[in-house]
Amino acid sequence: MPHPEAQFWNARYLTDKAHWARRQPYPLLRSYADQLPAAGLALEVAAGAAPAGIFLAGRGLRVIAMDISEAGLRLAQQRAHELCLPLALVVMDMSDPWLPPAGFDIILNFYYLSRPLFETYRQALKPGGWLFFETFVQDPDRRCNSAHYLESGELYSAFQDWEILHWAETWRKQGGNTLSSRRIAQLVARKIP
């Protein structure tokens, strides 16, 4: 029996391939690109079509894209293939995660929330390693499932003992429409050596 999240996301990726396949790396990641290591191992968690991971692969890093959705990872594979970039793919349920300790130079977490991952990331990044995290925050004006939405300040609190290079709670326009903006949190932090 397939995992319900896998079923849900496989269907989304299969019904709107073009939308997901043309996703671009997030501005948050692009804005730090010149400061990032040019080699090493990066992990994109809940990667889907892996826009961020493929961006880092293009900059010379080895990248592993993990997701519960095979259909999402197939899009990532196709994109990487078109760009002649290497990309390792792992189908994995990240709700009960395990990652090798001190294994990664960069971890990317865009638009996915599994709170047990906070502690996993703390272990899995190398000292000095970079964490990029961006996802939705609960909005008092909307009904939100708290399992999928950060509380205000939660992301900062989880990594406050790291070197915080950027933290913001801001708004993200949906499809260029200010009326449907969603509240998001962004964090760029480095694990203190």
Ligand X SMILES: C[S@@+](CC[C@H](N)C(=O)[O-])C[C@H]1O[C@@H](n2cnc3c(N)ncnc32)[C@H](O)[C@@H]1O
Residues at the site binding ligand X, with contacts judged by CB under 6 A: 5, 9, 23, 46-48, 51, 67-69, 72, 93-95, 110-112
CB closer to ligand X out of 29 and 128: 29
Beta strands in 27-83 (DSSP E): 41-45, 62-67
- CA 127 to chain CA mean position, Å: 20
**Single-letter code of the amino acid located at 141:** D
CB closer to ligand X out of 68 and 189: 68
CB of 193 to ligand X, least distance (A): 28
Look at strands 41-45 and 104-110 and give their pairing. Answer: parallel
- CA 13 to chain CA mean position, Å: 16
CB of 167 to ligand X, least distance (A): 19
Distance CA 160, CA 24 (A): 29
CB of 135 to ligand X, least distance (A): 8
CB closer to ligand X out of 112 and 193: 112
